[in-house]
Structure 1
Amino acid sequence: MTLKGLFPSPTVAAYMARLFLVRTFGILGGLVLVLLTLNLLSESSKILAYHGNGQAEIWRYVSLRGPELIAFGLTYSVLPGTILTLMTMNQNSEIIALKASGMSAHQVLAPLIVASFGIAVLSFAFNDRIVSRAQATLDQWEKVGYGPLPIDRGDRTNVWVRDGDDLIEVDQVRGRGAGAVLGGVTLYDRAGGNLAGIIRAPRGRLAKNGWSIGPDATRFDVRAGTLTHLGTIVVGKGVRPDQLTLATVNADGLSFGALKAAIGDLSGAGRPTKALEGALWHKLSGPLSACLMPLLGAVAAFGIARSGKLFIRAVAGMMLGFAYFVADNFALAMGSLGAYPPFLAAWAPFLLFFLIGEAVLFRSEE
């Protein structure tokens, strides 16, 4: 179909797209304002509990939490934006006029689908460039109790690994692979399941036969209750660099490219990646779900408004849309458990509800 066949009247297409976008972003603004207010009511006391925090830290929290709420609400807002647009046009007999002019149901919805595709592209770029960075920073800020932010926003924090019976805790890991630098190393020396000693050092680096920590390493002997200064020692001889640098991969806190690279590193190290692969695919299918909403909400567009069933059709459209979000979250959860393949977990709900939307649209047109 040519562009002229898809949009017989550019004026009508621009009019419908404008109505749709104004309503969608209006609903988004109200939704984000409510969610952010509720979020601040629960978190502001925690932020102000840290000595020295004040209004500046509250606004910093808003700047970090706001992008996440915008990304969360954007796709959800497309559905009521679609239904409100189509209900208004139906009540004003505009849909009937368009159908009487010879336009098919797909041609009526085409401006909304194209506009929703633009929202999907905007959502992906916003998630990739802004939300992932804000989420990573906010996660680290929450881990330090809303105290001073870590210097490197790409650092891994609070990493735990096991070396035989011993447990190693690292407060902060900078860099990747062999170039990783450890900060705040604590080794819990265990013998037969009992804690024998605690070794602490301010920093560490990869050595030939393990991890060199120091130069001010100390050992606390639990049984004797004595503290010994060790200087620089080598620990974690069985700990690989990937165990530290890839111990915690937060898919929400990484961009599409960074997550893809992390999955490659994990796969090369022989680590499981199914849940992260599902999250990677969902970074594409999630924003693209905005294009489904005009199809699912189209039930409110067709039918005679005077029949008194317009409200019922609008509710049916809302139920279809929210059923998609339930199915999407369920599929992601099953993918994280390994019950679904990653690609299926991310794309199966999208394809299923696309077919449902098309079936409803064809039924409405008949």
Structure 2
Amino acid sequence: MSTFSRYILRVFFLQMALLLISFTALLQVFDLLSNSIEVLNRGGGHFSALALYAVLRLPEIVSFLTPFAVLLATLMTLGRLERDNEILAYKAAGAPYNAVLLSFLPAVILVGLAHFALADQIVPRAINAMVQRDIYVDRSSKDDDEAVFIQDGRSVIEVTSVGKYGATLKQTRIYERGDNGILNRVRQAAEAHYDTKQRQWTLRDVWITSIIPDQPSQAEHRAEMTWETTLTPAEFSNLIELPQAMTLAKIWSFATSADVGVRPTYFYEAWLQKRFSLPMSSILMILLAAPVAHSLYRRDRGLAAGMAIGFGLGFLYFISDGLVMSLGETGAVPPVVAAWMPILVFASVGGAWLIRLEGY
């Protein structure tokens, strides 16, 4: 690695570290101001619950901000090199401008790999830890009143609410069918609880309705009864689990129908492609930042204008990415298009802008 490359990497990582720490702290404060009351209510009013939430929420915030930090750090690094005429001196020695951009490649690859590991391993563990303690707040998750269904042999189970990481089910209905596939009994329980020591389910406040052909239905009430099933809390937890709380292996199992999910297969396929495309977003940020810094300092507009345009481009990219990803989740566009189209479009725009400036 050349001296110039090492110099760029040192400046880039310093800028990125400062930006990431600053933005993470700011977003953490806003998140706590927005969700602190709900977290305290769920945690029984203990401050320790809020402190634990802040710590466990940190990986998700860092993962969200990493592409932004890469964009602005690249913009600030290139802006500094342009301002001090270091790029001009480098080009005067016979090196093209794209050689300067290639000097960022090792750093961006390291950031991309670290970002992938953070999003695929650390963030799911942190979210699942919050879900276990019932302190996770996510405004975009499924409504608690929306029922989920799962099949167990000939029986179909309907659950209105899943709590305590799948160990507690509220308003559970068990539709049991005979050998001929016709419904013959319905059990409706106010609550189902899983005993981890005995490894069995217990239904509470149960109404049992037996459906007998050519006879009136018979209803029976029991305060408590055992539910014999092969289902465990993990199956119910998977039904409501958010895609960002899943590892790549789990998303792959849902996308290939190895496991049963509550959402269509194309939903998990879109998130599978999104997880693969995640490291590429860091490389995209270089293609967005390079022409911005190059063109602005040619016109002496300075760092403030470059930061403003960088913010605008990053914001536009994330809005487009979220919109197309939503279309992919609903099946309106293919999963590959949902995950890769924003990256390819913005990379083409940045590359074309850079070619126009350099006249390749």
Alignment TM-score > 0.5, same fold:
yes
Partner of 1:208: none
Q: Which residues in structure 2 correspond to 1:262-341 (within 5 Å)?
A: 262-265=254-257, 272-303=264-295, 305=297, 307-310=299-302, 312=305, 315-341=308-334
Q: Is the 8 A contact 2:134 2:164 kept in 1?
A: no
Contact 2:189/2:207 (<8 A) preserved: yes
Instruction: Report how far residue 337 of structure 1 moved.
Output: 1.8
Q: Distance in 2 between matches of 1:330 and 1:107?
A: 34
Number of corresponding residues: 324
Partner residue, 1:161: 149
* Deviation, structure 1 residue 188: 5.2
Is this contact kept in 2: 1:216–1:231, CA < 8 A?
yes
Paired residues for 1:158-197 under 5 Å = 160-161=148-149, 167-169=158-160, 171=162, 183-184=168-169, 186-187=171-172
Residue type of the alignment partner of 2:57: R
Residue matched to 1:119? 111
Corresponding residue number in structure 2 for 1:75: 67
Shift of 1:35: 0.6
Determine whether 1:362 maps to 2:349: no
3-state DSSP of counterpart to 2:319 = helix
Structure 1 residues 231 and 337 mapped into 2: Cα distance closer, same or farther (>3 Å)?
Answer: closer
Relative to structure 1, is the Cα distance of residues 358 and 17 closer, same or farther in structure 2, using a 3 angstrom cutoff? same
Amino acid at match of 1:109: L
Q: Which amino acid aligns with 2:284?
A: L
* From 197, 201, 219, the counterpart of 2:207: 219
- Give the structure 2 partner of residue 150 of structure 1: none
Measured in 1, the distance between the counterparts of 2:260 and 2:191 equals: 30
Closer/same/farther in 2, CA of residues 45 and 323 from structure 1, 3 Å limit = closer
Whether the 8 Å contact between 1:65 and 1:134 is mirrored in structure 2 is yes
Tell me, in whole angstroms, the C-alpha distance in 1 between the residues paired with 2:32 and 2:234: 37
- Give the 5 Å matches for 1:15-34: 15-34=7-26
Identity over aligned pairs, percent = 24
Assess, with a 3 A threshold, how the Cα gap between structure 1 residues 186 and 245 changes in structure 2: closer, same or farther: same
Q: The residue matched to 1:228 in structure 2 has which SS?
A: strand
How has the CA–CA distance of structure 1 residues 303 and 243 changed in structure 2, closer, same or farther, with 3 Å as cutoff? Answer: closer
CA change 1:68–1:201 in 2 (3 A) is: closer
Partner of 2:189: 199
SS in 2 for 1:279: helix
Q: Is the counterpart of residue 95 in structure 1 residue 87 in structure 2?
A: yes
1:203: how far off? 4.4
Q: Give the superposition deviation at 1:339.
A: 1.3
Residue 232 (structure 1) shift: 4.1
Q: 1:296-329: per-residue Cα shift (whole Å, max 9, x none)? A: 1112443584743445555444433333222211
Is structure 2 residue 247 aligned with structure 1 residue 247?
A: no
TM-score using structure 1 length: 0.74
CA contact (8 A) 1:217 1:233 kept: no
- Gaps (5+ residues) in structure 2? 138-144, 176-185, 210-218
CA deviation after TM superposition for structure 1 residue 268, in Å: 7.2
How many Å separate the matches in 1 of 2:319 and 2:109? Answer: 21
- Residues 150, 157 of structure 2: 8 Å contact kept: yes
Say what the alpha-carbon RMSD is for the aligned residues.
Answer: 4.0
When residues 159 and 132 of structure 1 are mapped into structure 2, their CA distance, relative to the original with a 3 A threshold, is farther
Q: Is the Cα contact below 8 Å between 1:266 and 1:273 reproduced in 2? A: no
Superimposed CA distance per residue, residues 31-52 of structure 1 (whole angstroms, 9 cap, x where no aligned partner): 0000101111222222333575
Deviation (angstroms), 1:67: 0.8
Change (3 A) 1:282 1:269: closer
Task: Write the distance in 2 (CA, Å) between the matches of 1:50 and 1:363.
Answer: 56
Work out the CA distance in 2 between the residues paired with 1:270 and 1:159.
10
Q: Which runs of 5+ in 1 are unaligned?
A: 1-6, 146-156, 175-180, 191-195, 206-211
Matched residue SS, 1:123? helix
What is the match of residue 178 of structure 1? none
> Match for 2:129: what amino acid?
T
Whether the 8 Å CA contact 1:160–1:169 is kept in 2: the answer is yes
Corresponding residue of 2:38: 46
Q: Is the 8 A contact 1:275 1:337 kept in 2?
A: yes
